[in-house]
Chain A
Amino acid sequence: MNVIKQTAAELAARIHSGELSSVDVTQAHLDRITKVDDQLNAFRHVDAEGALAAAAKVDADIAAGNPPASPLAGVPLGLKDVLTTKGVPTTCGSKTLEGWLPPYDATVTRKLREAGVPILGKTNMDEFAMGSSTENSAYGPTRNPWDTSRIPGGSGGGSSAALAAFEAPLAIGTDTGGSIRQPGAVTGTVGVKPTYGGVSRYGLVAFSSSLDQAGPCARTVLDAALLHEVIAGHDPMDSTSINSPVPNVVEAARQGASGDLTGVKVGVVTEFSGEGYQQGVLDSFQAAVEQLRALGAEVVEISCPNFAYALPAYYLIAPSECSSNLARFDAMRYGLRVGDDGDRSAEEVMSASREAGFGPEVKRRIMIGTYALSSGYYDAYYGSAQQVRTLITRDFAAAYSQVDVLVSPTTPTTAFRIGERVDDPMAMYLADLCTIPANLAGNAAMSVPSGLAADDGLPVGLQIMAPALADDRMYRVAAAYETARDAAAGGALINQIPEL
């Protein structure tokens, strides 16, 4: 048995039964990181000591005959470097936070600790989660384990690459416009953006407050559901956190794995196809739709006409919020300080520090957002974008009055080559074309592997979307699809990944 190739559910069962120790499992993943991460740069920071201490505590608990702290107790995880960890570096992929040690844990971090999940370290990301390739990290790009000349998606490329490379069985991502799902799709892993407000944002360093949502990343739908259950739930520290029961996603995933989708209505979003979509992606998506039909689902086409405006609306709302959220990085209280030579004013030091601390994409978005919020432009830009947001929410509501879930390709193409789109922001932004609407509406959405594209042999993701608070519904469909696809393909997609 190769420990690192096990699913989280399998590892948990073996750890809880005493067959494996959490320390051994954690150490195996730390060894794997040591062995392969030079080729990938998936981890920004490895906290071997902290992870092993947490693992030892789980082992001691189990040895003492105590029940495990959670169904995932003892199974290690990679945490996106945008969630604060007390005393452990949190850089958000930015120079401006190099060396910063947060004095507090994010709620997600706290829940993971309480659940007995050892945190292996912090995973690489586009600076402040702005990007679709992890090339915008100030600490170098992360590489896709399927082909190290390619991007692992972004902004959470570190988390998905770590999963695909067996450096971690579980990871946490954050999804503002697709930063969990698009990396999941291009690395052949599962990525879930829960309903907005389903997982606390306290301690998630904000990019765009009204869109940001943390969620689980895993190699199987069940593992994602198990992790979802650990991190979700109402948090009084986050005013936008939903105060209602967490949908029973684990039960839904187990039920879905039995494979029957009779009575489930699936809508195919007609807007997400055609020009700009890679043929291999469209073919894989068609096959997935056929698979759903074969499982008993009723498939219909659904038009969501306002989705066409989602991308431009997103690129006004997200930069507007980011221009305000990132204002706090001013070198006064923490983070990089440049030019404090005794002669310069506070304003000059702030300006010099921000100039030195932020990368080009972050600066671009701060400038776009500052402009969009300016007096005289607010109505035309931010105001209009908010109206589009309302229209998109209505499109979703109309669609969900007819179907249970919506499906589309997660991203229009497979992983592109590192450097290919860095000088063309618009091409880069198109990677999130299909994922953005769910963020704007605050709905749930996820990506599950749908195979390899015939034209380039790289992973493709199927996006499954569900209404707010109906996260369980998409887990059921995803689990049914995963089981059927793996059976038809003779095993999980991840098994086809080349050895590093």
Chain B
Amino acid sequence: MTAIAETLDFDEVLEHFDPVLGLEVHVELNTNTKMFCGCANVFGGEPNTHVCPTCLGLPGALPVMNGKGVESAIRMGLALNCEIAPWCRFARKNYFYPDMPKNFQTSQYDEPIAFDGHLDVVLDDGEVVRVGIERAHMEEDTGKSLHVGGATGRIHGAEHSLLDYNRAGVPLIEIVTKPIEGMGHRAPEVARAYVTALRELMLALGVSDVRMDQGSMRCDANVSLMPKGTTEFGTRTETKNVNSLRSVERAVRYEMTRQAAVLRAGGSITQETRHFQEADGTTSPGRPKETSEDYRYFPEPDLVPIAPSREWVEELRGTLPELPWERRKRVQQEWGLTDEETRDLFNTGAADLVAMTVDAGAPVAEARSWWVQYLTQQANTRETELPELPITPAQVARVIALIGEGTLTHKLAREVVQGVLAGEGDPDQVIADRGLEVVSDDSALLAAVDEALATQPDVVEKIRGGKVQAAGAIVGAVMKATKGQADAKRVRELVLERCQ
């Protein structure tokens, strides 16, 4: 058997095939309580501490719908330009798995709460792509399995498994796109941009934390290829475990090149679930779906139908915040930013923080520079998100003000920020504790200048002879003597005055 190349060159893929994508994104809602019981909806916690008879599926326990969850689903549907069902039900999706307490998932089947919408997605070059939304439906999350022993961390080969039901019953919305066709080489980018746009939308709506690293936003990418010139979709694979925006793009790209290699070698694609490998950007086969699993859906008899009144839906429409793409446009105009500056502002997630810093009195340019550059680097170093950094917009505004007053140099300002990030208190506190204030007392500075001049009479002569640039040596000596706390500009002025 001749070895088949595992992947085909990306450009070659596009010579022969058109990719078709379908993205399924699960978003955990940030409601106070779970979807069908009163347990706290919080990430983590000691295993099996946020549980009750209902979310453990104990005999006799019953679900009661979380009205806030329904409200979030409707708002999400409206923001995605969907129709909102005037009447719909939950259904039971029946399958056995140890982390699912009832061995059925309470979900929605043929009656989703929201359907037939779209989301406009801005690509890196500013091109806007409209992604069709098939449906958005409500369901509950499962518990978590931890498979101990065995090489893969999966259930097969494990010595034993631990189950944590804290997540069981957490409200989820699943958003399913219509097939995304005709994107060609931009398909991977479109996938990432779509998930990014969805994430921003959820943040703007305030309905979810959308932390991909914590699983509160999860993406399954369906990818298939159809030979150029044909219209019938190829066999698709569903790649799971795609846990970052970058991974979405990589996973789609990898699947395109992998499937193309198989097809070009005369093989056929197996309809299956695949797992994305973060380490090398490849996908590996999961369970093959020989027959499509029969979930035996039927309407959930323990819950009553959901019939949101038109009045309520319109009232919720009125609560929709300014949506991300509208806001992007407005901010760009108001602050006079270039496309690139706007993109960086929003892609780093700094827009809100910059706005709040500006509200606290800082000029736009400085506020933007601090958040988009220095603080974004700090967040990356700490492997956290910008909003999670332990510094507030007000503190950043204070630092900027102190620079403006000449109390801090830029170098010192970064030290102050480091102090704030280290939990040493407000900027003024850090300055006091670390003794960081710029030395601006001219008499103290003059003493240092005179001392430096006295030790370097040759330099004084040069300056007096017109070689003004020679002053740098004196300024350097003064800065050294004042441990960098002097304002170098003022030192230079004093040196020149003394040499006249």
Contacts and interface: CB of A to CB of B under 8 A. Distances in A.
A264 interface: no
Interface in B21-68: 53, 56-65
Nearest to B38: A237
B198 to A, nearest CB: 30
B298 A324 contact: yes
Contacts of B126: none
Contact of B58 (A104, A201, A208): A104
Contacts of B250: none
B92 interface: yes
Contacts of B60: 83-84, 90, 102, 106, 202-206
A324 B94 contact: yes
Contacts of A329: 59
Interface string A335-358: 000000000011100100000000
Nearest to B93: A324
B159 to A, nearest CB: 8
Interface stretch (B100-108, B329-337, B430-438): B100-108
Interface in B295-313: 296-298, 301-304
A239 B65 contact: yes
Contact of A374 (B56, B96, B296, B303): B296
B98 interface: yes
Given A103-B58, A330-B96, A374 B302 contact: no
A373 interface: yes
A167 B42 CA distance: 49
B61 A327 contact: no
Contacts of B303: 239-240
A373 B94 contact: yes
Contacts of B161: 346
B58 A378 contact: no
B146 interface: no
B340 interface: no
Nearest to B298: A373
B59 A346 contact: no
B454 interface: no
Nearest to A382: B298
Nearest to B159: A342
B296 A373 contact: yes
A209 interface: yes
B302 A375 contact: no
Given A239-B302, A346-B155, A373-B296, A327 B102 contact: yes
Contacts of A100: 59
B59 A210 contact: no
Contacts, number: 103
Contact of B302 (A84, A240, A320, A346): A240
A239 B59 contact: no
A345 B155 contact: yes
Contacts of A106: 60
B13 to A, nearest CB: 35
A97 B59 CA distance: 10
Interface string B264-301: 00000000000000000000000000000010111001
Interface string B81-120: 0000000000010101010011110000000000000000
B203 interface: no
B296 A328 contact: no
A330 B98 contact: yes
B59 A84 contact: yes
A333 B57 contact: yes
B4 interface: no
B58 A102 contact: yes
Contacts of B296: 323-324, 370, 373-375, 378
Contacts of B163: 332
A203 B60 CA distance: 4
B470 to A, nearest CB: 81
B98 A378 contact: no
A206 to B, nearest CB: 7
Contact of B63 (A239, A321, A334): A239
Nearest to B64: A239
A2 B155 CA distance: 64
A323 B296 CA distance: 10
Contacts of A239: 62-65, 302-304
A332 B98 contact: yes
Interface residues of B, number: 31
Nearest to B161: A346
Interface string A307-324: 000000000000011011
B153 to A, nearest CB: 15
A425 interface: no
Contact of B298 (A320, A332, A334, A347): A320
Contact of A209 (B58, B294, B297, B301): B301
A236 B60 CA distance: 15
Contact of B56 (A92, A320, A321, A333): A333
Contacts of B156: 345
B163 to A, nearest CB: 7
A377 B357 CA distance: 62
Nearest to B103: A327
Contacts of B103: 327-328, 330
Contacts of B98: 330, 332, 346, 350
Nearest to B292: A375
A490 to B, nearest CB: 44
A210 B92 CA distance: 14
A205 B104 contact: no
Contact of A324 (B53, B104, B294, B304): B104
Interface in A82-134: 83-84, 90, 92, 97, 100, 102-104, 106
A238 interface: yes
A210 B302 CA distance: 7
A202 B94 contact: no
B96 A238 contact: no
A328 B102 contact: yes
Contact of B104 (A238, A327, A334, A382): A327
A203 B63 contact: no
Contacts of B304: 239-240
Contact of A238 (B58, B62, B102): B62
A338 to B, nearest CB: 15
Given A320-B298, A346-B161, A237 B62 contact: yes
B497 to A, nearest CB: 82
A198 to B, nearest CB: 15
A202 B96 contact: no
A336 to B, nearest CB: 13
A97 B60 CA distance: 12
B160 to A, nearest CB: 8
A328 B57 contact: yes
Nearest to A375: B294
A16 B373 CA distance: 80
Interface string A358-378: 000000000000100111001
Contacts of B53: 103-104
A334 B61 CA distance: 14
Interface string A210-238: 10000000000000000000000000111
A374 B296 CA distance: 5
B52 to A, nearest CB: 8
Interface string B154-177: 011000010100000000000000
A327 B96 contact: yes
A90 to B, nearest CB: 7
A388 to B, nearest CB: 16
A402 B190 CA distance: 65
A386 to B, nearest CB: 9
Interface centre among B57, B63, B155, B297 (most CB of A within 10 A): B57
Chain A CB count within 10 A is highest, among B53, B101, B304, for: B53
5 contacts: A97-B59, A239-B64, A327-B96, A327-B102, A345-B155
> Which A-B residue pairs are the 3 nearest by beta carbons?
A327-B103, A373-B296, A209-B301
Given A238-B62, A239-B63, A328-B103, 9 more contacts: A84-B60, A90-B59, A104-B61, A240-B302, A324-B298, A330-B98, A332-B98, A373-B296, A382-B298
